[in-house]
Amino acid sequence: MRLVFLAAAIALTASAHAAPPPDHYRVHTAGELARVCGTQSSAADYATAIAFCHGVLAGAYGYFEASTPAADRFICPPKPAPTRAQVANGFVDWAKAHPQLMTDGAIDTLFRYAAQAFPCKR
């Protein structure tokens, strides 16, 4: 019985120190997405933040590919495609250069960046 209480205490203590605030990973604006994607490697939640960022990037682009016919696409990544880390870092750098857009929607602004970084050449 003591072992169960000890395990529960350790789990609660670890989660209390490691868990970010509840709204930390709710990204509505471009600035919030840039903040998460730009999390420093020294941050306690770096792995979680970067995984979340990469998930947003992959999910948004996956939806774009699935819902947009090839002839209508305005984003055409080169081959080989950039890594998620390269896209995330590029977005963060682009966001710093476009502070006036950081209150706009996260995904809309992500696609603005992608359209500039990876335009289709037809």
Enumerate the domain spans of the chain: 23-117
Helical packing angle, 84-97 and 30-37, nearest 10°: 130
Residue 26: predicted pLDDT: 86
Provide the pLDDT for residue 22: 57
Of 75, 68, 78, the residue nearest 110 (C-alpha):
75
| CA end-to-end span of the chain | 68
In the predicted model, what is the mean pLDDT of residues 109-122? 94
Residue 47 has a pLDDT of 94
Q: Does position 62 have pLDDT exceeding 80, yes or no?
A: yes
Question: Could you tell me the two tokens for 110?
Answer: 């992500």
Position with higher pLDDT, 70 vs 121: 70
Count of all residues that appear for the chain in the document: 122
Q: Tens of pLDDT along 18-61?
A: 555 557 778 999 999 999 999 999 999 999 999 999 999 999 99
- The pTM of this model reads 0.80
Per residue in 78-105, pLDDT (tens digit) is 999 999 999 999 999 999 999 999 999 9
